[in-house]
Amino acid sequence: MKSPRFLLLAFAVSLVVGCGPSEKAGGANDGGEKLTIGVAFETLQTEYWVAGFAAIRKEIEDRGYRMLEAVADNDANRQLEQVRSFITRKVDGIILVPKDAQTCLPMIKAANAAGIPIVLFNRPADKSDARSVAVVADNFALTKETVAYMVEQARATGRKHKAMILIGDLGDINAVGRRDGFDAAITGNEDVVEVVARVPTEWSQEKAQAGVVNALQANPDIDFIFTSSDFLLPSIVSALKSVGKYKKSGEDGHVLLGGFDGDATAYSMLKDGYLDATGVQDVYFEAAQAVQAIVDLRVGKDVPGLIQDPGFVIHRDNLTEKAPQMWGAQVSGK
């Protein structure tokens, strides 16, 4: 067998021989022709991210552009490698869903250094000198509005409620915004709602389920639950069923239930009367804004650092009116 030195040399030569200009996006220019956009998602593990990924793909393809995709499987270092890979391929823009607000900073700096516009989809970065645009829902306001609706419902029953909140990964600024929105809606309404359990989930279905079961054991009279993401609803449903408290609105023992995202599970639970309200992120608006921001940045237009998706609260009273705008309803209809 040949020596390893020979093989390493052959390997190096194969790379050097292959070294040509990096792939240039096919015909990309600023005149509205075909751009190549790299889309790097942290994960595709929830319905929201799958819907967001599909919405961005559709937006890019509808404009006649080309999409390169990468999913980092919850690994920030892998995502950095993927973003560098996009830069090597000289993409015209990058849309990034980072794992969190801090680990994306080297990615943004790398894109800045290469002169490639970068847009953060649904999760903004921490403040720094790295330049990016973020398209995000107003997590605080939307959660506050959703929980305020739930508090109204609680007040209408004429009795005091005991509440539980499922908190997301606090490294994710969206989770912090939702937690703060929840707290803001409860503040001043302590006569109606008393928070007795705060379940940290780190965005994990298993941790959520264990946390909800434990909280219901410690406080069997919990009758007001808010989850920071609808993707955790199955964990809540399972835990409520196990203690015989999964009841429709209007039925005796109904637990007031609210969420955030507006996924297909939330839509079906709203329709069936188990869910009272959820804050809906307009995924189609966010996808369109993210791609448009790349196009605008490439031609030197001024784009604000933060593009906010106002979203909306959907509940039983406005379900028929708002369902056509709810991405979860669209996905479940397919």
Partner 1 sequence: MSEPSVTAAVATERGRTGSGLRRLALSEYLVLWLSVIYAIALAPFAPGFASTGNFANILISLLPLFLVALGQTVVLITGGIDLSVTSIIALTSVIGANVMSSAGGWLAGSPLAAPVAVVAMLALGAVVGGLNGVAVTWLKMPAFIVTLTGMMFFSGLAIWFTQSKNIGGLPEAFVVLGGNPWAAAAIAAATGGFAHVMLTRSLFGRWLFAVGHNAKAAHVSGVPVRGVTIAAYVVSGVCAALASILYTGQAETGSPVLGQRVLLDVIGATILGGTSLFGGKGKVLWTLCGVLFLKLVDNSLNLLNLSIFTITMVKGGVILVAALLDVARRRWAGGGA
Interface positions with partner 1 (CB under 8 A): 1-2, 4, 7-8, 10-11, 14-15, 17-23, 44, 68-71, 73-78, 80-82, 84-85, 87-89, 100-103, 105-106, 126, 169-171, 200, 202
Shortest gap between Cβ of 319 and partner 1 (angstroms)?
A: 34
Of 14 and 318, nearer to partner 1 (C-beta) is 14
CA distance linking residue 221 with residue 197, whole number of Å? 11
CA distance linking residue 245 with residue 237, whole number of Å? 9
Of 68 and 266, nearer to partner 1 (C-beta) is 68
Q: For residue 319, with 0-12 CB atoms within 10 Å meaning exposed, 13-18 middle and 19 or more buried, which class applies?
A: middle
Shortest gap between Cβ of 172 and partner 1 (angstroms)?
A: 9
Of 61 and 221, nearer to partner 1 (C-beta) is 61
Of 201 and 265, nearer to partner 1 (C-beta) is 201
Shortest gap between Cβ of 81 and partner 1 (angstroms)?
A: 4
Of 231 and 274, nearer to partner 1 (C-beta) is 231
Shortest gap between Cβ of 282 and partner 1 (angstroms)?
A: 25
CA distance linking residue 46 with residue 174, whole number of Å? 15
Shortest gap between Cβ of 75 and partner 1 (angstroms)?
A: 4
Of 100 and 138, nearer to partner 1 (C-beta) is 100
Shortest gap between Cβ of 255 and partner 1 (angstroms)?
A: 26
**Cβ contacts of 153 within 8 Å, gap of 6 or more:** 256, 276, 277
